[in-house]
A and B are shown apart, each in its own frame.
Chain A
Amino acid sequence: MIEQWKLLKNPRLAARFDLIGMVTGLLLVFFMFGHAMMLATIVFGAETMDGLSMWLEDLYLAQAGAVGIVFVVLIHFVTAGRKLPLRVNEQKMIWRLTRRLSHLDTWLWLVQVVTGMLILLFVAVHLYFVLTTFPIEAVKSSTRVASNFGYFYAPMIIVIWLHLGIGLYRIFVKWTPFNRKILKVFKWLLILGFIADSLLVLKTFWAIGLQYVN
């Protein structure tokens, strides 16, 4: 039997897509680290954060960044989403296997699929509000959080760090021979650490915002 995919012009596409999925994933990880750090400047007061965001906006880094990130998110969605079970019988098979197997990493992959979908929604709503109220200012952000938008951001935080932590872990598992027990510890430290950090930052925004809302 001749496997006809080998006769295609570019049988390397699967490999390329896999790599692009990984590279865009890594880019988004770095972006999120940066994003989290910048937001954390709120702890030093609204002025510090405004200073930083003004500087980024003057250099057009914030604007270009937003467009760039949307682009990267979409590419990541398409390349990583190739692995999703699209047919009903595939979905049934993977669901039956996962339920029976009681194997955490296999469950986490389903978590990855669900959080990935949710992130698309969250990011769309988040960007809509940030970009329609441009420029980014601490007071604006805090009043948004305090006017009950915090209930939107809290689950978003959890979903994003879960997706990021699990994804980063899987990159290491797939490409390196590092001991998985150690990688697992790092994964959970990273996920819990960043969720805690982000929730704290959210709480700070909320507290500042409440002063203005009332």
Chain B
Amino acid sequence: MQEYQLEEYPGLNLYIALNKIREEQDSSLQFDFVCRAGICGSCAMVINGRPGLACKTLVSTLPKTITLNPLPVFKLVGDLSVDTGTWFREMAQRAGSWIHTDKEFDPEAVEERMSNEQALEIYELERCIECGCCVASCGTANMREDFMGAAGLNRIARFMIDPRDQRDGSDYFEVVGSDDGAFGCMGLMACDDICPKDLPLQSQLARVRRAMAKAAFAPKKKVAF
């Protein structure tokens, strides 16, 4: 653990503080940032024990001594920098994070309509910035490598709402009907409390769980090998 001293001034946030340290005290310090505005999700780290975004955290809200750690679960790049990209890409692949449909895409046709409520709900869940805070704060994700995390289950919920996606309960069951998905979650709700974008993770986890419980009792599809 390295220690640095820094003079605080009004409006100082952790992101600026880290940059100052890198400029003035230790040019080798590794940490990530892009947007500085809580949009890109790259500056997530463990701040006094809690995952959060450095650029969204004012130093004035923290005690005098601040301890920073890299996010757990993800692969460590160095110091405070972790590789969330690989994890999220794998998650997206497993979740089948695209609209599954057998309809031909016709660039000339008018777009299909969906209800305003559906559109708004999807928009709400799409606000996830893939910062990884929910995954890092999750007891299950910390214990079990293959757990999809709240971000993954939220992604599934997003496609469940989408009327253009033709997957049904049993298709989703293939993806999240196991201990790596909906039934791995123990309902500790750290994800819900910690998500810096305040996504409604509790209700989305519940949505996926209910759908998966239903699918577990639906008649089986015949699969031939």
Interface residues in chain A, defined as those with a beta carbon under 8 Å from any beta carbon in chain B: 5-6, 11-12, 14-19, 82-83, 85, 90, 93-94, 97-103, 105-106, 109, 170, 173-177, 180
Contacts and interface: CB of A to CB of B under 8 A. Distances in A.
Contact of B183 (A6, A15, A176): A15
25 contacts: A5-B178, A11-B177, A15-B173, A15-B177, A15-B178, A15-B182, A15-B215, A18-B213, A19-B213, A83-B140, A93-B72, A93-B142, A94-B139, A97-B142, A101-B49, A103-B194, A105-B188, A105-B189, A105-B190, A106-B190, A109-B186, A177-B202, A177-B207, A180-B189, A180-B192
Nearest to B225: A7
Contacts of B183: 14-15, 17-18
A99 B72 CA distance: 14
B205 A174 contact: yes
Contact of A15 (B50, B202, B216): B216
Contacts of A93: 72, 142-143
**Residue with the greatest number of chain A CB neighbours at <10 A, chosen from B143, B193, B194, B200:** B143
A101 B194 CA distance: 10
A109 B190 CA distance: 11
Q: Could you say which of A11, A82, A101 has the most chain B C-beta atoms within 10 Å of its C-beta? A: A101
A102 B63 CA distance: 15
Which residue of B49, B189, B203 has the most chain A CB atoms within 10 A of its CB atom? B189
B139 A19 contact: no
Contact of B190 (A5, A103, A175): A103
B193 A103 contact: yes
B179 interface: yes
A85 B174 CA distance: 25
Contact of A173 (B182, B200, B202, B216): B202
Given A5-B178, A11-B178, A103 B142 contact: no
A176 B174 CA distance: 23
B46 A177 contact: no
Contacts of A94: 139, 142-143
A99 B69 CA distance: 14
A97 B139 contact: yes
A101 B137 CA distance: 7
B210 interface: yes
Nearest to A22: B213
Contacts of A15: 173, 177-178, 182-183, 212-213, 215-216
Given A94-B142, A100-B46, A14 B187 contact: no
A94 B144 CA distance: 10
B187 A170 contact: yes
B134 interface: no
A11 B221 CA distance: 12
B143 A106 contact: no
A22 to B, nearest CB: 9
Nearest to A83: B186
Given A11-B177, A170-B187, A177 B143 contact: no
A14 B188 contact: no
